[in-house]
């Protein structure tokens, strides 16, 4: 009883001093410790799933950046390609992974039960080359973001992924390219933009050298942008 009285006094003074959120955070931790508030109900941790189809260099950067984060956890890697590099990355970093197949993803339950089992709150597409089914978008409204290796709305849409994007950008004689991080809706690469960054294209650039510059931009900005979108600094 005495303990509770003390907590109430603490919160009252916290509120009076305009420090409510600071004291409430402290209280929540204490309540979880005392077993009064369960961790599951303590929605302070956002659990994200990274969907990827290839090497997974972005996934690796995101996992490393968020390692030990106070309120964001990479809880699952979802991959549609057996043998993809991202699966090894998941294994080496101790993140569970889920290999998905077309039929169930597009015509079945879109693996919603697995996402629920892993308590996923937010989805990050990092080089995921399948379109996201409407059922998944409906289950995660405004909670799915994607990275695209060009300055959308140019060089986006069906068939525009990886090297194909860089080849098209160079073939068009563009003087710059870049990255776009955006929300995902039912149209390929058309959701609301969150962030863009640019790089200059030089005379000798090849699709490979441009891919390197784009990857550097992605690695520098994607993890931080995810943290900003979730509004949770460590
Ligand atoms: C990234 O450059 C990403 O922007 C691109 O695939 C690459 C994946 O690299 N995504 C698309 O083209 C989506 N349309 P990674 O596997 O090394 O992270």
If you measure from the C-alpha of residue 43 to the centroid of ligand 1, how many angstroms do you get, rounded to a whole number?
30
Tokens standing for residue 4: 């509770």
pLDDT band at 217 (very low <50, low <70, confident <90, very high): very high
For atom 12 of ligand 1, the residue with the nearest CA is 161
Is the domain of 99 the same as that of 197?
A: yes
Please identify every residue annotated as catalytic: 148
Residues 12 and 228: their CA atoms lie apart, in Å, by 31
pLDDT tens digit sequence for 145-192 = 999 999 999 999 999 999 999 999 999 999 999 999 999 999 999 999
For atom 8 of ligand 1, the residue with the nearest CA is 127
Q: 201 near 167, Cβ under 8 Å?
A: no
Residues 14 and 227: their CA atoms lie apart, in Å, by 27
Is the domain of 130 the same as that of 67?
A: yes
Is the domain of 33 the same as that of 50?
A: no
Mean confidence (pLDDT) of the chain: 89
74 CB burial (10 A radius; 0-12, 13-18, 19+): buried
Is the domain of 31 the same as that of 96?
A: no
How confident is the model at residue 106, as a pLDDT? 97
- Cis (ω within 30 of 0) for the bond into 180? no
Is the domain of 58 the same as that of 17?
A: no
104 annotated among ligand-binding-site residues: yes
Is the domain of 31 the same as that of 69?
A: no
Q: Which atom of ligand 1 is nearest to the CA of 59?
A: 18
Is the domain of 88 the same as that of 195?
A: yes
- Cis (ω within 30 of 0) for the bond into 153? yes
If you measure from the C-alpha of residue 127 to the centroid of ligand 1, how many angstroms do you get, rounded to a whole number?
3
pLDDT tens digit sequence for 31-69 = 555 555 554 445 699 999 999 999 999 999 999 999 999
58 annotated among ligand-binding-site residues: yes
Neighbouring C-beta atoms of residue 219, cutoff 10 Å: 16
Is the domain of 62 the same as that of 30?
A: no
How confident is the model at residue 207, as a pLDDT? 98
Residues 39 and 42: their CA atoms lie apart, in Å, by 5
For atom 11 of ligand 1, the residue with the nearest CA is 161
Question: Domain of 14?
Answer: 1-40
Q: Which atom of ligand 1 is nearest to the CA of 214?
A: 2
> Average pLDDT, stretch 101-129?
98
DSSP string over 169-219: HHHTT-SEEEEEEEE--SSTT-SPEEEEEEEEPPTT--HHHHHHHHHHHHH
């Amino acid at each position: 009883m005495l303990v509770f009285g003390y907590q109430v006094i603490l919160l009252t003074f916290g509120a009076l001093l305009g420090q409510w959120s600071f004291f409430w955070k402290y209280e929540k931790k204490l309540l979880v410790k005392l077993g009064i508030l369960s961790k599951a109900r303590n929605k302070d941790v956002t659990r994200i799933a990274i969907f990827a189809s290839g090497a997974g260099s972005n996934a690796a950067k995101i996992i490393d950046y968020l390692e030990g984060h106070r309120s964001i956890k990479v809880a699952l890697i979802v991959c549609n390609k057996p043998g993809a590099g991202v699966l090894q990355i998941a294994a080496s970093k101790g993140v569970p992974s889920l290999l998905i197949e077309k039929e169930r993803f597009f015509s079945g339950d879109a693996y919603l039960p697995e996402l629920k089992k892993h308590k996923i709150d937010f989805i990050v597409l990092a080089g995921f080359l399948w379109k996201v089914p409407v059922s998944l978008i409906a289950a995660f409204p405004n909670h799915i973001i994607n990275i695209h290796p060009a300055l959308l709305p140019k060089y986006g849409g069906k068939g525009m992924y990886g090297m194909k994007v860089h080849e098209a950008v160079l073939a068009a004689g563009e003087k710059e390219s870049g990255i776009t991080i955006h929300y995902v809706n039912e149209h390929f690469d058309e959701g609301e933009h969150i962030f863009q960054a640019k790089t200059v294209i030089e005379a000798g650039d090849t699709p490979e050298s441009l891919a390197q510059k784009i990857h550097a931009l992605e690695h520098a900005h994607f993890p931080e942008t995810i943290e900003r979108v979730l509004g949770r600094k460590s």
